[in-house]
Structure 1
Amino acid sequence: MTMDIALVAGGAGFIGSHLCRALSERGFEVICLDNLQTSRVSNLDSLADLPRYSFVEADIVAPLPQAVLDKADRITRIYNCACAASPPQYQADPEHTMLTNVVGTHHLLRLAEQTGARFLLTSTSEVYGDPEVHPQVEGYRGWVSCTGPRACYDEGKRAAEAMTFDYARMKRAEVRVARIFNTYGPHMHPDDGRVVSNLVCQALRGEPITIYGDGSQTRSFCYVSDMVEGLIRLMESDIDGTEPVNLGNPQEFTIGELLSKVLAIVPSDGGVTHHDLPQDDPRRRRPDIARARSLLGWEPRVALDDGLPQTARWFARELGATLPLAVAAE
């Protein structure tokens, strides 16, 4: 029996690897496409037991490989999760970041046009920049620096959105666009530079914990299982796809509050060091998810107090570190 194929570009990444498993559990054959530039091979190892799964090492900046094209007639879903997502990673090669978002998205949209597959772009809350509107609604046009060090990612995603919506308006492809807010959980890279992995891993290693600014800036943290559920619901929804949908947890915390929660799970005597805020770093970040609630019936279920211990246990195993018995035994 032939099965529909879901192509996940960036499938070896943090969210992508969870998405590959969830799609397999829903009956899709899954092709994981990744260049392994910022992904972890251990994420691929976690997918090795999946039935009807294959991995193709390739970069979507280049023309799509024959291993994908050979199965194109059965591809019905294309998830574009490809692109480094943390500032240290995407700023390390800004040219490639921009090309991934623009040229890579173009290659995948062309595949969607040729096959009739539905296409989902994982965009980002970074399209709102350092927002002047709070919480951020999809209609807000953002406050983005187009010349700063984050522009390769922020503007790259904005360009990817523009191209995706143009394909929809021209009836060339059926599309969906998710604007993802801060997401955390197992399969994150311990050294990816994002705030949850930074704080948890520094605490586990007994290192000085880095706080940028005074810790009063805010973020909203969505556990990865909730995010994956939102992405799949968006892909499978009957919306017309011509508007973006925020996906994130609307519970807002200061970085100082996050640190307190981390230290309650992973006590550390490494102390705290304060550094200047990075250029163009958003001061506040919180999604308005009314559209996701209305159109998808979706909202996050995993509270930060529940997701953080699960994340800390996973990082502890990855790093060979020890957690307090009460946390480790849960």
Structure 2
Amino acid sequence: MKLSENAKYLEDVAYVAGLDIPWEKLNGKTVVLSGATGLIGSFLIDVLLQRNEKNGAGIKIVALGRSKERIYSRFGFSTDNEFFMAITQDVNDDINTELKEIKADYVLHLASNTHPLQYSTDPIGTVITNIIGLKNMLDYAADSKAARFVFASSVEVYGENRGDTEYFAEDYLGYIDCNTLRAGYPESKRAGEALCQAYMKQRELDVVIPRLSRTYGPSMLKSDTKAISQFIKKGVEGEDIILKSEGTQLYSYSYVADAVSGLLYCLFLGKSGEAYNIADPDSDITLRDMAKLIAEYTGKEVVFEIPDATEAAGYSKATKAILDSTKLKGLGWSAAYDMKKGLIRTIDVLREI
């Protein structure tokens, strides 16, 4: 069974596709998304496809990725059609002729290295995707005179919590030691946000910036090495959950359906130039408690293991990173999945596909 055929997953997609938000802004429009086969991008495209199928929205979806065949396979197509087009485009390369010929109404830059193994083994790619790749997409959006550009940023822009706040609000300026390998991801996300502000001023581009908390869900990639993804994989496989630290790190998380719904609220209702945290207090949890929750559901144990040097190099040094989502909730957004519900749903779906 493919993910797009799973009943529970389709329920999640239908929930987001049925939100009471101004969908009419996308009717008949062209939406270009980088990172089309990623955790966030693939779920969002499934939502847009459902809007077309169930609501006759007529949204033309242009899905960008490094492999056209992988895009077709993920969404069940063998070729392009009137409302779906796959384009091979590495965002770090110059925009190709095929994409240049398309005028985008909305552009969403969702492509990024987003897990520890990538941070430690491809640090250059991690940085340039968030800066050079972003610049290429911003140029494309500005040339298209797009109505809005969305840059998917991250909780990691806040750096380490040094005890001066409980929750990170959007105006918090955190600490990051830039002279480390691991700093490549958060520092490039910060630089990316600054670059968005520059394009707003110099090229009059409308930009909004959702800051995602640590996101998980059944659309996650098999290559994902984030702790939560590794826990989930072990749970799906019926194995003990391996915890590679004391597990005292306290983080905010979002189930993918809530992350995408938050992104859509930013797209439709967010103020130009503003950043919005996507998180919910019911999904704030320590790694240890998360591991226990999954182990209890799957009938397994939590096992402690020391990470190797490559793994350790990619891990965040932040021990507490929880987000204040008051600003996003002010737009009308709310989460539908708490931590337990989201984890159980993810495991159940992945067991069935």
Asked whether the two chains share a fold, i.e. TM above 0.5, the reply is yes
> Per-residue deviation at 1:238?
5.4
> Equivalents in 2 of 1:157, 1:248: separation in Å?
18
Correspondences of 1:200-211 after superposition (within 5 Å): 200-211=232-243
Going from structure 1 to structure 2, the CA distance change for 1:281 and 1:40 (only over 3 Å counts) comes to: farther
> Deviation digits for residues 148-183 of structure 1, max 9, x if unmatched?
222221111111100001112335201001111011
Correspondences of 1:209-228 after superposition (within 5 Å): 209-228=241-260
> Equivalents in 2 of 1:105, 1:157: separation in Å?
10
The aligned counterpart of 2:76 is 48
> Equivalents in 2 of 1:280, 1:235: separation in Å?
28
User: Root-mean-square deviation (CA), in Å?
Assistant: 2.3
Alpha-carbon contact 1:80-1:122 (below 8 Å) kept: yes
> Equivalents in 2 of 1:124, 1:231: separation in Å?
12
Aligned mate of 1:179, from 211, 229, 244 = 211
Correspondences of 1:117-266 after superposition (within 5 Å): 117=146, 118-132=148-162, 133-170=165-202, 172-237=204-269, 239=271, 241-251=272-282, 252-266=284-298
> Equivalents in 1 of 2:255, 2:82: separation in Å?
25
The aligned counterpart of 1:314 is 349
Aligned mate of 2:118, from 89, 94, 101 = 89
- Give the residue type in structure 1 aligned to 2:152: T
> Per-residue deviation at 1:85?
0.6
> Per-residue deviation at 1:35?
1.8
Aligned mate of 2:144, from 115, 121, 124 = 115
Alpha-carbon contact 2:218-2:346 (below 8 Å) kept: yes
> Per-residue deviation at 1:280?
4.5
> Equivalents in 1 of 2:258, 2:269: separation in Å?
16
Q: How many residues align?
A: 309
Which has a greater percent of helix? 2
| 1:105 maps onto 2:134 in alignment | yes
The aligned counterpart of 2:340 is 305
The aligned counterpart of 1:287 is 323
State the identity as a percent.
25
The aligned counterpart of 2:23 is none
> Per-residue deviation at 1:67?
1.9
> Deviation digits for residues 47-106 of structure 1, max 9, x if unmatched?
22697112112201111122211222xx11100001111111233211111111111111
> Deviation digits for residues 240-290 of structure 1, max 9, x if unmatched?
x22211112233211111112101221225x50233676652101211011
> Per-residue deviation at 1:45?
2.9
| 1:15 maps onto 2:40 in alignment | yes
> Per-residue deviation at 1:229?
1.0
> Equivalents in 2 of 1:62, 1:190: separation in Å?
25
> Equivalents in 1 of 2:42, 2:212: separation in Å?
16
The one of the two structures with greater contact order (alpha-carbon pairs below 8 A, sep at least 6) is 2
The runs of 5 or more residues in structure 1 that have no matched partner are 319-330
- TM-score with structure 1 length normalisation? 0.86
